[in-house]
Structure 1
Amino acid sequence: MWLLRPPGVYRPQADTWLLVQALRDAGIPRGARVLDMCTGTGALAVAAGNEGAGHITAVDISLRATLATRFNTRVRGLPVRVERRDALTFPARRQFDVILANPPYVPSPRRELPRSGPSRAWDAARDGRALLDPLCANAPGLLSDGGMLLVVHSAVCGVGTTVDLLHAGGLKAAVVARRTVPFGPVMNGRVALLQDQGLIGAGQRHEELVVIRGDRRDSGT
């Protein structure tokens, strides 16, 4: 899949494609309303459009990412609304049949999220959950009856924590896809930090990526 990617915008890679495959495997209703959170280049929005989504909302806090997504979706003639905003403040009054999320999840030496720069696409504070936790808390309120969330992140951040938070929000949740990949440059540069925090074992130079699916039960059943 060719995508325009300006400097500083997250490059689609293994986690992106694992989530794309999980979306294809899950299937979505023809005409579904889809929310792509932390869209980056819009790769997931494009995939949702190719799978028959009727209306797609793509959200990112980065101006460059929103411009890239507008280009990558419009040249394909896809029904995508692109919004520059903090995904964590998305209004709960809007509901979707499918939510896709590939948020920043790399543990960082900093206790807060970066406000600018390329690292904003992957840094997620000390435990890597600065965006994952509020996303898990907010997603149930954004899903329509029978709606589905698909979120991807590294097992380093705690798979059980994500599943438990989605359960607490009333969703049925489980891991639906896994892939083990070697560390990239960012993770290799943080081996000492990850070991000190007990997030990886000595000598570990790989991580497991997981896609977790959360389903909101239909209130009519």
Structure 2
Amino acid sequence: VEGHAATVGADGVVHRDLFALSIFYLSLSLIISGVGFLKPNISTVVGKLYPEGDPRLDSGFTLFYAGINIGALFSSLICGYLGDTYGWGYGFGAAGVGMLAGLAVFITGQKYLQGHAEPPNPAALRRRLLGPLSVEWAIYLGAALALPVFWALMQLGHAVLWLQVLTMAAWLGWLSWYVTARCTPVQRQQMLACVFFVGICLLFFTLYEQTYGSWLLFNDRMLT
């Protein structure tokens, strides 16, 4: 039985296709990089479509998030069905087609975004930063150089865990100093309230991001 990242031999031993697995991790790295460019910007674009205090803003974001969730629902159903029925090459291929369709819709629909999807200061992007490289091309180069880093980190789970622990410890140390030495009592209360909500948000997204990973594996093993 042959798969995209593994082959089961006649002896029943699973032999991993390391090249296919590397391509899989590279694909995930590209998705990570793309989402990093998308998510901080797309919500801002939606928010700028409405003037300050416009009562339609909440409705606009409701439609925006409803569209995302509907897309996530049908994409998982379609890609999962194609993968189980015809092979995962078709399932992942359908996901790629969906991404290209989304990009095409965004590009052709920019006229409805009132210019908010364009750089606010194009001259700043054309400024030379690294020799002949402009700021814009330096950003693209940085994103390309980050791909092998993402690719490696996804295969170094323990290293990533310790990196997260050290980063959290450093951040907590800085935060303790900042709220003690630099904040007024009112600001200190506001900062601690923000930290509380950030913690709740982290807990939520920690569980939410398991939806298509460990939760599926847990349910699959419990049902079998």
Higher-Rg member (1/2) = 2
Higher relative contact order (CA 8 A, sep 6+): 1
Measured against the shorter chain, the TM-score band is under 0.3
Relative to its length, the structure with more strand (as a share) is: 1
TM-score, length of structure 1 as denominator length: 0.23
TM-score (normalised: structure 2)? 0.23
